Amino acid sequence: MEILEEKKNKNKKYKPILEGIPNWPVYQLSKNRKEFIEEVTHQSIERIRELRPSNKQLLDDLQATAYREQNRIKRNRWRVDPKDDSAFWSKIKNELVELSTRNPDELTEAINQLLGKIVHRYASEIAGNFKPSSYRFAREAVKFWFARLLNGARVKKFGAFFRNRYTLRDKIHIVGKVKLLRKLARKGTVVMVPTHFSNLDSILVGWIIHEMGLPAFIYGAGLNLFNIKIMAYFMNSLGAYKVDRRKKNLPYLETLKMYSNLAIQKGAHSLFFPGGTRSRSGMIEKQLKLGLLSTAVEAQRTCYNAEGEQRKIFVVPVTLNYHFVLEAPELIEDYLSIKGQDRYFPENDKYGSFQLIRFMIKFFGNRSNISVSIGPALDVLGNYVDEEGNSLDAHNRIINTKDYFISSGELTIDRQREDEYTRMLSQRIVAEYHKINRVFASHLVSFIAFEMWQKKYHQLDLFNLLRLPEEELELDYQEFRTTFKRVRKQVYLMKEQGKINFASHLKGKSDLVINSGIDNVGVFHLNRPLLKNKQGNIVTKDLSLLYYYHNRLAGYSLEQFI
Amino acid sequence: MSERNFSFSTDEKPVGVIGAGSFGTVIANMIAQNRSVLLYARNADVVKHINEKKENRGYAIHPNVQALNDLATLADQCDVIFPIVPSSHFRAMMQQLAPYLHPYHMLIHGTKGFDITLPEGETVESVEKLDRSRVKTMSEVIQEESVAVRIGCLAGPNLSKELAMRQPAATVVASHFQEVIQTGKKLLKSDRFQVYENNDIVGVEIAGVLKNIIAIASGALSGLGFGDNAKGLLISRGAVEMVYLGRALGGDLKAFLGVAGIGDLVTTCNSPKSRNFTVGYRLAKGEKLNDIIADMKEVAEGINTVRIAKKCADTYKVRALITDRLYRVLFEGLNIEEALEFLMRFPLNMDIDFI
């Protein structure tokens, strides 16, 4: 069979934009880790008191926090949780009870102290721990082992293991506005916001940041990832801070936001996944979590208020494009059960270090490539930014971003206004995701096959359709091919209109592209989402999985061309 | 949030009003009671007339109002601007104004119509589909054409003549931004004018636009000499139709139940002072649409709205019987009596099924 290779990667190696780790903002942050945590604690307390001015309100919140934390410890304990968790929270609970005996003049002080304890604990837990030595080591280790895996698996010759014919750059394609990003990273602070499909994203993103010659970013990674030891090691050394999605209480959320806010203000390039969690359905995020995103807006306003240099913040949307998502079966099952019956499934990662390594070996042995699309940079209102860092309107007139925070000639703090700005920014990011999304052959064949079946059984709703026995599903190849050509043409057209992007392997003879798509889609799953049978017709072994991969192209109104 | 947060530190800055039609003039006069106002008119002669004679369209002009013909000066001097021009000129006006706008500008418009963008050579009738990508509210036009984000709108039962006589009335200021709502309130509120708040700006805009359709129908009923039973029927069924169409276009139910929805609807459907009502009334008296239009001094937004709403109803497959019949009367020569007969015979049963 002819192999459809991705166009030879022209990406040259990028030189680092900042020599020497000591200059990196992220290093400065971790060197002064203790002071930084103090600052986060201090400012978070101030903010929480602003949000909950009365002692009664705050006490209610603290009681709810203690109650929920104890519940979490009982019900949903993770390996990363500190050993003294239980002791700490029972102590807090006791202190809360004692508070009721205090007389009113001491009360405020006592509550603030208690709040301080909680917030300080959270801040220390969230804070990353970037160390230059382990960063260098982790970086080299990733490169070395990835290269070994690649060459060993790909070049089937004795000794291939130690060759360097393939590098990671052949495997992971970085496309899009890399140059712009590198320029802007020198001029201001970058906040990168990628789509989130797989636990692998966190590591992948760490690698591409290095590969683009950018200094390490601080980034928000789900605490659950730290359960996996090998992941934890890499994440720590790449500068990650921890986001615990089990904690939804006010002190935690405010501390987390303050951490991100202050880090951005200090000029640390940041990254978080604004979808909040991996996309369960396989669709590109439509609704973003506004909490962390709001910190970019607030940090920008604070920077404009500061004396001296007013650093500008650049928001860069990124999409990660895979043929294959390791945890797809669990994700889609979650999605369907929640959507189907409103049942809640606690998060539960079935992958330990061993599964991860096994996956890596499989992944590197396969032709399955990954591509990362770097989107155009935006200011915190979602306006495009040029190479000089100027925000531009639709007619390329320069906008002074500071003006968004001005009222009657003065810079003002208006949280409601900034909430609205955050919402606007999130919509712009979602729109950019859809534009820079790179269609792979595997996405397109999945989409078409699933939609064809949906059309064939149009009287069934999604859940009934998914319940059909897989043996009954078969698509005539010729019919499939005709539809494929029609839809692909539409994708071409949409690219011309700037509505979507596609990988270069999508072009070419339709038979070959279809074959490569079928070969690649969800290639390592036990049950393949798409196959050809002996007659050459299209069949599936797992319709739910096919639905997952199909969802990647949901929201483009391509259904009408089926 | 207390209103004090929005106190003006630049009380001396004038407020801008764009458009010197009846409503624009009246709004300028109302604001002029506590702030100086710059009133923009497209026509230099009108500017001269206003400044010299202190009069416009039969309304005396408040001494605090100064007319001008220069958008650049207006945008430079005013942080808060009220654009009140017909929907068919709105986009062109915004394109002229946009180069002078900054993100700190606040725009609160008072225009009740849709903006449509059609492919070259197409008309509302010939185009295959008319969906929301082609039909925009004025706040969306402002956002598309300029860097302004602090956008609001005024809507409600606000007949210019009655406002000018300082009769009691109310309006809604709708915006996503509290800042805009509070500013609008502060500028407009008086002992004879109540201002309500709403944050569903698109819903409020759509309600204000769609009610003009029903107003034409109401005028027609009056013209035919029918009484209050008929009007009650029309208003209640018209409100239901507005809700359905409005929801298809992206508005929230709540906006339609408020001052800008029911409030405005009832007013316009009962008022010979309304331009849209007048169009329906004269039609029923046997005049031709073209003659009526040629005869009117100002635009009756409802006529164009009927065309747009009918096409949207077809595109989104919403049943809009009144709009549909009215369209045929206006543009396809259907007799008003026939249209009425059709509506009365149509088999319907459920009164309210959207709550």
Q: Where in chain B is the domain with CATH 1.10.1040.10?
A: 203-345
Percent helix, percent strand, percent coil in chain A, to nearest 5 = 55, 10, 35
State how far residue A406 is from chain B, nearest Cα, in angstroms: 6
At A153 the pLDDT is 56
Residue-level pLDDT at A345:
45
Q: How far is it, in rounded angstroms, from Cα A448 to Cα A550?
A: 8
Same domain, A253 and A315: yes
Residue A4 domain-assigned (yes or no): no
Verify whether residue B211 is a known catalytic residue: yes
Closest chain B C-alpha to A416 CA, distance in angstroms? 7
Say what the pLDDT of residue A353 is. 67
Residue A16 within any structural domain of the chain: no
Tally of domains within chain A: 3
Q: Does residue A8 lie in a domain region?
A: no
Spans of chain B below 70 pLDDT: 1-11, 349, 354-355
Report yes or no on A36 lying in a domain: yes
Around A94, how many Cα atoms within 13 Å sit in the side-chain half-sphere? Answer: 6
Q: Mean pLDDT in runs of 10 for chain A (562 residues)?
A: 44 72 76 90 95 91 93 87 90 89 84 94 87 76 68 56 62 88 94 90 82 85 79 75 90 95 91 88 90 94 84 95 82 82 49 65 66 94 95 93 93 95 96 95 95 93 86 92 95 94 91 91 82 92 92 92 88
Whole-prediction pTM: 0.89
Q: Is A382 within the bounds of a domain? A: yes
In 3D, which of B340, B147, B158 has the Cα closest to residue B260?
B158
Asked if residue A454 belongs to a domain, the reply is: yes
Q: How far is CA A204 from the centre of its chain?
A: 10
Residues in B touching A399 (Cβ below 8 Å): 102-103, 147
Instruction: For chain B, give every residue range classified as CATH 3.40.50.720.
Output: 3-199
CB–CB contact A403 B179 (8 Å): no
Model pLDDT, residue A134: 75
Q: How far is CA B316 from each of CA A99, A175, A469, rounded to the nearest angstrom?
A: 60, 39, 35
Q: Which long-range contacts (CB under 8 A, 24 or more apart) does A457-465 make?
A: A462/A547, A463/A336, A463/A340, A465/A543
User: For position B148, what pLDDT does the model report?
Assistant: 96
Q: How many CB atoms lie within 10 A of CB A408?
A: 17
**Partners of residue A313 on adjacent β-strands:** A189
pLDDT for res A477: 95
Q: Which residues contact A493 (CB under 8 A, 6 or more apart)?
A: none
Which of A403, A434, A465 is at the close of a domain? A434
Q: Is A394 on the interface with B (CB under 8 A)?
A: yes
Per-residue confidence (pLDDT) for residue B1, from 0 to 100: 36
pLDDT of residue A316: 97
- Looking at the fold, whether A135 and A243 belong to one and the same domain comes out as yes
Among partner residues B79, B102, B149, which is closest to A408 by beta-carbon distance?
Answer: B79
Q: Which of A438, A467, A441 is nearest to A453 (CA)?
A: A467
Contact of A78 with A227, CB cutoff 8 Å:
yes
Do A209 and A96 reside in the same domain of the chain?
no
CA distance B187 to B191: 12
Backbone phi, psi, residue A320, to 5°: -110, 125
Chains A, B: CB pairs < 8 Å: 51
- Cα–Cα distance measured from residue A300 to residue A313, given in angstroms and rounded to the nearest whole number: 6
- Domain match, A299 and A317 both: yes
How many angstroms separate the CA atoms of B184 and B191, rounded?
A: 15
What count of residues does chain B have? 355
Is the separation of the CB atoms in A370 and A171 below 8 Å?
A: yes
C-alpha–C-alpha distance, residues A499 and A492, integer Å: 10
Nearest chain B Cα distance for residue A314, angstroms: 18
Same domain, A400 and A448: no
Whether residues A250 and A138 share a domain: the answer is: yes
A270 and A399 inside one domain: yes
Q: Does A397 touch chain B (CB under 8 A)?
A: yes
* Residue A175 belongs to a domain: yes
Q: Give A65's DSSP letter.
A: H
Q: What angle do CA A360, A363, A365 make, to 5 degrees?
A: 110
Half-sphere exposure of B243 (CA within 13 A, CB side): 16
Nearest Cβ partner for A408 among B9, B98, B176: B9
Same structural domain, A120 and A192: no
Q: What angle do CA A371, A377, A380 make, to 5 degrees?
A: 130
Query: Do A414 and B178 lie within an 8 Å CB cutoff?
Result: yes
Report d(CA A393, CA A390) in Å as an integer: 10
Is the CB of residue A523 less than 8 Å away from at least one CB of chain B? no
Instruction: Inspect the interface and report whether the beta carbons of B104 and A407 lie closer than 8 Å.
Output: yes
Residues A103 and A229 placed together within one structural domain of the fold: no
Looking at the structure, tell me whether residues A322 and A204 fall in a common domain.
yes
Name chain B contacts of A401, Cβ cutoff 8 Å: 103
**Cβ contacts of A420 on chain B, cutoff 8 Å:** 176-177
Closest by alpha carbon to A384, among A373, A396, A374, A372? A396
Domain boundary among A434, A466, A500: A434
Return the CATH number of B203-345, one of 3.40.50.2300, 3.30.1600.10, 2.70.70.10, 1.10.1040.10.
1.10.1040.10
Question: Residue A93 class from Cβ within 10 Å (0-12 exposed, 13-18 middle, 19+ buried)?
Answer: middle
Is residue A63 a part of any domain in this protein? yes
The SS3 call for residue B309 is helix
For B312, the enclosing helix (H) or strand (E) is helix B301-316
Catalytic one among B112, B136, B211, B311? B211
Same domain? For A410 and A512 the reply is no
- Residue A438's contacts (CB-CB under 8 Å, 6 or more residues apart) are A175, A319, A321, A371, A373, A501, A502, A503
The verdict on a CB contact (< 8 Å) between A395 and B102 is: no
Alpha-carbon distance B134 to nearest alpha carbon in chain A (angstroms) = 17
Amino acid at position A562, single letter: I
Amino acid at A424: M
Closest residue by Cα to residue A412 from B100, B77, B10, B31: B10
Are the C-beta atoms of A226 and A232 separated by less than 8 Å? yes
Q: How far apart are CA A125 and CA A242, in angstroms?
A: 7
**Rounded to 5 degrees, what angle do the CA atoms A335, A339, A341 make?**
120
CB contact under 8 A, B10 and A409: yes
Say if the Cβ atoms of B176 and A420 lie within 8 Å: yes
The reply to whether A145 and A54 lie within a common domain is no
- Residues in B closer than 8 angstroms to A411, CB to CB, are none
Cβ atoms of residues B47 and B67 within 8 Å: yes
The boundaries of the domain holding residue A535 are: 438-561
Which tokens in the block code for residue B42? Answer: 């497209």
> Is A416 an 8 Å CB contact of chain B?
yes
B178-210 pLDDT, tens per residue? Answer: 999 999 999 999 888 999 999 999 999 999 999
Indicate which CATH number applies to the domain containing A158.
3.40.1130
Residues of A whose CB is below 8 A from B149: 381, 404, 421, 424
| Mutation target vs B (from A407, A414, A424; most B CBs, 10 A cutoff) | A407
- Give the architecture-level CATH label for domain B3-199: 3-Layer(aba) Sandwich (3.40)
C-alpha to C-alpha distance for A176 and A373, rounded to whole angstroms: 5
Last residue of a domain, one of A97, A126, A155: A126
